[in-house]
Every structure is written in structure tokens, then in C-alpha cells.
Structure 1
Amino acid sequence: MGAGVQSSTLLTLSAEGILPKVDYAIFADTGWEPKAVYAHLDRLEREVAEPAGIPVFRVTSGNIRNDALNPDHRFASMPLYILNKDGRPGMTRRQCTGEYKIKPIKQKVRDLLGYPHPTRVPKGVFVEQWVGISTDEFHRAKDADVKYMRNRHPLLDLGWSRADCIRYLTSLGLAETPKSSCLGCPFHGNAQWRHIRDTSPSEWADVVEFDAAIRQGNARANASGNRLLGEAFLHRSRVPLSEAPIDHVTAAERAARQIAADDASELENGVVDGCSPWACRGDADALTQDDFGLAT
């Protein structure tokens, strides 16, 4: 449960008895979610999960922001935008979802099954894991990569789109369900960057500071002399976030810049499905030379 639109819908449908009651909900905390996500998660737990008798577990592999800036910590890299020394664009490899989302979820699932790592999970012992993927992103539905987890996608079974989920949540007074992703996720669209800047000055200062701090890449790599082959940025324009063109781009400007319609939509709205462990857009995006090299 990322506490975004689709996973909030699944939890609520279960709590309301429209879907069977789940045994548990698991929130993988990267330590750098927007304040609105933590507030929404608190509300879901208090008003939806607890009355229905559904325990919500919060698991973590650490604080992704602090780890990225700590030269003594092995950091799982974000999909940062890179500007090579010769001007070529690229991206670093995305490892963050695996490290900060999938890994702690798997650890908790094994604990709940009674077979914590490194104990072997016996054949035929598994959890049915519900993943919040709606019809507009059905192509992202996939199986888990371990036999003790079997993914199911109830929203697809219901034929529900993201719009259906929003209507349902709105009818229950949960219209303000936020998009679930790290505060400084490079997959944010301009609308999300503007929202942070215009509604939460402290969070905006935080991401601007982080963007400047990662300009030369991973802190541990820099400390060991394995510097990034270029400069790293949070915004796809590959300029400092404080200077990035995040305000609305008109149709004329899009035409002048020759931005395709799909690219323009993603530039403005970001990746629709956020950072679900089994549906993150980054799964298919960047090919790299190594942890700190450039995308090809």
C-alpha cells in the first residue's frame, strides 16, 4: 500500500466489504514521502483500516534522502537525469524501488509467513498479494519474482480505471488522496514540482537543496573516486531545480520546442502510476554502464 489513489481504493474496498477482507496492509516507507502522504496514511489507518480490523505495517530500508548524501552508506541509485560532459543526455540506473520498496515488503511478508530470511519458504506456502493497478495501466501488471508471493490485481478484475477510483474515494470523503512517490522523485511532472513549490515552501527548499547536493552524483561514489560521468539533476530539463522550467508550457511553446503530445503530457503530469513496487515506470527506462555511469 503506497497510500496513493489505487492502493487507497483497494484498502477501502476491502474495509467496506466490497472486496474480501485482507489480512494486512504493508506500507514501505522510503523516509522521504511528502507530508501529505504521511497525513493521508495516518487517516487511512485511523478511519478505514483500524475500524475494519486490518493491521497496517510500516516497513523501511532506511531514509533514501539521507542515504544518498551519506558517503559511508551504500545507496541504491535514483533514476537521475544526467548531462554528459559532451552534452549528451542520459539517466542513472534505477535501484531505489527495489531497495526501498520491494526489499522491505518481501522481508515483512516472509516474517508474516513465519519464515524470516534466510529460512527457506516451503513449496506451496505463499501470500496472495493485492497490487493497485487500474485498467489504464493494465500493461504494468506483472507477477512477483518469488514463489512465496502471488500477485493479484483486483482493480483489473473489477474493470476500474484510475478515474473510477477517484470517484469512489471522493464519494467517501477521500478526494484529497495524494500521489504516492518520494518528495524528490525524478519522475515528477511539472505540475507536481509546482505544487510542492507553491504549497509547501519547506519541502520545496528541501528538494532544491537535495538537487544541488547530488549534482556530482552518489556521495559514496564521489568519496571513493568513482565520480559520475557528467552532472546529475532531478528535473528532466537537466538544469538546477530552482531554475527549471516548471511553470505551465503553452501549446505554442510546445510546438516551438517540438515536444510530442505524449511527452508534453508526461512533462506536465509526471508518471501516472507513481512508484508502485510492481508498476514503477523506471522498470523499463534507463540502461546504464554501471551504477554511476551514463545511460546509453
Structure 2
Amino acid sequence: MLSLGAGVQSTALLLLAAEGVLPRLDGAIFSDTGWEPEQVYVHLERLEKEVATPAGIPVYRVSAGNIHTDALDPAHRFASMPLFVKNGDGSVGMIRRQCTDEYKLKPIKRQVRTLLGYPAGRLPRGLFAEQWVGISCDEFTRAKDSGIGYALNRHPLLELGWSRTDCLRFLARRGWQSTPKSACVGCPFHSNAQWRQMRDHQPTEWAAAVAFDHAIRSGAARGNATGSPLLGQAYLHRSCVPLDQAPVDTVTAHEWRERQGSLLDLLDPEDGPRGCSPWTCRSDDHDAESAVAA
């Protein structure tokens, strides 16, 4: 079973399985937060039509709701996003991240249990699904166990010794050089490069992110409706200023390091941190990136 984020690495794994380089997959699971970039949905449609279906690999689309509308709905319990918070004393913190577990991992786990024939209750000892996760050699520290007995994470790209650049080269040879990065439109872990890309090339998504940033200034709608507003002000950008005023044109030290890579990285349509995988949230990229001057 493939954990299909529809980004570079998981797309490469699907193609490798479809071509017989890797063992045939019993299925691929795409966990939809409801707020992926439009190009991800377009890519997923093409991937299913041209690769998965001809190879006999079913694609299961699962979801726990729409993270965008849920955050703005005062009647809906919301799993918090890792928003940056500017406190009254001027210090900056970050809200505890729950969204990956609620909107990515839990739907995948439910689907795995269903496919194993046990959607609820205890599973027989020793029954599990092998789950492929797209982790390449340049990010091997992200490789993790699933933490559940009925899903055994495997990382075929590590076994092949493939880097992200190897995946990009492979995809380009197969006509998939425009594979996007998978991450929510309003993910606070976006780099400046990704925010710039959105502002300059996806104006509709940029406008939605700007509006969302304004709407969550006091936290999620449910907390405000129930008398538990955020102590401080929340922002999507780490500079803790409104997104449409944030210094997204600043090139951070992390981005400069990214630019020093191989010329093959030019195959990648965007600079900046990797996309978001259900099992590998980009919080590590946030820790690595230098602070942006406000």
C-alpha cells in the first residue's frame, strides 16, 4: 500500500511500481485535507488515469473534512494548525500541531483497517499492511515507524539509494517533470519561496490564504464562539505580520542553501522546503530555516 501524497517522491514510487521495477501495489491512499493546491488535484487525476488504473492499482481518496472551512466554522471542532502566535509581550510562539494527525493520518489509518477487513475492533495478531512512504536519501531522518501494529512503514527510495534529484530525473524522463509539491494552501510551514510562488503564479490561492490569515487572527472560530479566544494574535507567516504584508521576498539562509544544489534541481518547479507527506510533516524544515527579518 502506498501513502500517496501526490508529490515528487510518492509519484516516483507509484510509477516504479506500475513499471514493475518495484513490486506491484495493492493500492494507494491519498488523504485529502480539502485545501490542497489545484495543481495537486489535477496531478492526482492524471496520475490515476495514466498510471494507476492501467496498472491495476486502485487509488483510495479519503478525507476527514475540509481544514479551511472547519477552521472558520464556529460549530466545528477544529484540530489546530501550527499557526505562529505573537503574544502580548512581543514574544513569538507556535500553536501545537494537530492537523497532520486529524486530516492526514487518521483517514489513512481508517482506510488501512478497512482494507484489512477490520474497520473497527481488535485486529488479529500479525495482520498488517506494508505501507510505502516516499522518503528519499536526502531526507532520511524523516523516516519513521507508523506507530501502529497493523501498518508497517517501508521506505523503498532509501532501499534504492535514490535522492530527490534522482526522483526528479526519473519523473522528467517519464514526462512528469511538472509534479507539484503537496501541502495545504495555507500551511504555516511554507517557505518564503513557496509564498512567492503562490503570490506570483496562483493568485486565487494566494487571495484565499490572505483572507484565511486575516480570519484566524484571534484563533479558530470555535474557540472564539465558546469564549476561549487565543491569547495573542495568530498568523500564517513566521514574521507575525499579515500575509499580504509579510516579507516573502526575503531570501532566507535555508533557501540560499537550497540554491547551492545540483543543476538537476532546476527540474524542480519551485525552490524551498519539500512538500508535505502524511507521515513526515514539514515542521523539521521550519526548525532548520533561519528567522525572517520583520
TM-score, normalising length: structure 2:
0.89
> Within 2, Cα distance between the matches of 1:99 and 1:77?
9
Question: How much is the aligned-residue C-alpha RMSD, in angstroms?
Answer: 1.8
Q: Partner of 1:134 in structure 2? A: 136
Name the CA distance, whole Å, in 1 between partners of 2:30 and 2:278. 11
The partner residue of 2:205 within 186, 198, 203 is 203
Structure 2 Cα separation of the partners of residues 184 and 193 of structure 1: 9
Q: What SS class does the counterpart of residue 208 from structure 1 fall into?
A: helix
Task: Note the residue ranges of structure 1 that are not aligned, 5 or more in a row.
Answer: 255-260, 287-296
Could you tell me which of 193, 196, 201 is aligned with 1:194? 196
Counterpart CA distance in 2 for 1:283 and 1:78 is 15
**Corresponding letter in the other structure for 1:25:** A
Residue 280 of structure 1 corresponds to: 281
Task: Spell out the pairing of 1:61-210 with structure 2 (5 A cutoff).
Answer: 61-117=64-120, 119-210=121-212
| 1:85 Cα deviation after fit | 0.8
- In structure 2, relative to structure 1, the CA distance for the partners of 1:145 and 1:92 (3 Å cut) is same
1:290 corresponds to: none
Query: How many corresponding residue pairs?
Result: 273
Q: 1:4 aligns with which of 3, 7, 19?
A: 7
CA contact 2:84–2:93 (8 Å) conserved in 1 = yes
2:217 is the counterpart of 1:215: yes
- For 1:111 and 1:143, locate their aligned partners in 2 and report how far apart those are by CA, in whole Å: 20
Change over 3 Å in CA distance of 1:95–1:74 after alignment to 2: same
Q: Deviation digits for residues 86-111 of structure 1, max 9, x if unmatched?
A: 10010001100000000000000000
**How big is the shift at 1:120?**
1.1
Q: Distance in 1 between matches of 2:230 and 2:184?
A: 22
Helix, strand or coil for the counterpart of 1:51? coil
The answer for the alignment partner of 2:263 in structure 1 is none
Corresponding position: 1:43 with 2:46: yes
Structure 2 SS opposite 1:52:
coil
% identical equivalent positions: 64
Equivalent residues in 2 for 1:258-273, closer than 5 Å: 261-262=253-254, 269-272=271-274
Show structure 2 runs of 5+ residues with no match: 259-269, 288-294
- The question of whether the paired residues in 1 share the 8 Å contact of 2:255 and 2:271 is answered with no
Preserved contact between residue 189 and residue 286 of structure 2 (Cα < 8 Å) = no
In 1, are the aligned partners of 2:189 and 2:285 still within 8 Å (CA)? Answer: no
